[in-house]
Structure 1
Amino acid sequence: MSAPRVRALRGATTLDVDERDHLIARTQEVMAAIFERNALQEDDLISIVFTATSDIHSAFPAEAAREAGFTHVPLMCARELEIDGGIERCVRLLIHAYTDRPAERLRHVYLHDARQLRTDLPE
C-alpha cells in the first residue's frame, strides 16, 4: 500500500421534509455510507464542509456529525447556490481525509434524489 495522502470525498442526500430529526438521520446515513465504502475512521479526517439548499431551515447538517460523535473534526456549513431546476432539500458533503486509496478507488456517495447529481457512479 502507498502512504496516506490527502483526498477529498463527495456525498449528497436529500430530505423528504425539512424536519430536524429527518435531516440528522439522512446526513448521518450518507456519512456512514461514505465511511464504510472508503474504510475511513474519524482519526483519518481533516475536515468536513456541508452545504444545504436554501429550503432547509430545521438544523445545521454539521449537527448530525456532532451527534454521531465527531467532536474533534472541524466542521463548516454553507448555503448551496440557488440554481433554477436544482434539487430541493439537498445536503452535500465534502470530506477531506487521509487515505491510502488512490483517487480512482474512492467511492463518492449520493443517496435518495441526490443520485441524479452523479448518475455515472455505482450505487
Structure 2
Amino acid sequence: MIRGIRGATTADHDEEKEILLSTESLLKEMILHNNIKPDGVASVFISATNDMTSVFPAKALRGFEDWKYVPVMCMQELDVPHGLPLCIRVMIHYNTSTPQRDVQHIYMKNAVSLRPDLKKD
C-alpha cells in the first residue's frame, strides 16, 4: 500500500545553501524515522512558499545516494494570508505495510507550528 509521509521545515533566508541544507535535513529525518528505501518510493512532492526563489528545494534530494531514479516534483505552495514564511513541505509516497498511525511525519524549525497535534514530548 502507498502511504503519504509528510514533513515540513523552514529556511532562515532565501539563499540556495540555506534552502538546500534545510531540505536535506528534513529529508534525512523523514527517511531515518520511517526506514525509507528509495526502491519503495513512488514519488516525492516538494513545495515551497513564494518567498523562496533562489533554488528548487528538490535539488537537495538529487545528492542522495540511490535516489537518482525517484520521481521528484517541485511546486509553489498556495499564497494564503498569514501563511508560514520560508516554508518547505514534503510528501513522500511510499510503499509500506506500516499502519497509518505509525507513520512518522516530521516537522522541524518553525514548521512545528503547522501540526502541533503531532508533536512528540
Structure 1 CA distance for aligned equivalents of residues 39 and 86 of structure 2 = 30
Equivalenced residue count is 119
TM-score w.r.t. length of structure 1: 0.93
The answer to whether structure 1 residue 110 and structure 2 residue 89 are counterparts is no
- Provide the residue aligned with 1:7 in structure 2: 3
Unaligned ranges ≥5, structure 1: none
1:82 and 2:86 equivalent?
no
Give the secondary-structure state (helix, strand or coil) at the position aligned to 2:117.
coil
Distance 2:85 2:69 in 1: 30
How far does residue 113 in structure 1 lie from its aligned partner after superposition?
0.3
Q: Which runs of 5+ in 2 are unaligned?
A: none
2:30 pairs, out of 4, 27, 34, with 34
Counterpart-to-counterpart distance in 2, 1:51 and 1:73: 16
TM-score with structure 2 setting the length: 0.94
CA distances 1:21-43 after superposition (whole Å, capped 9, x unpaired): 11111101111111111111111
Instruction: Supply the AA of the counterpart residue of 2:11.
Output: L
- CA deviations on 1:54-89 (whole Å, 9 max, x unpaired) are 000111011000122321100101110011110000
- Equivalent position of 1:94 in the other structure: 91
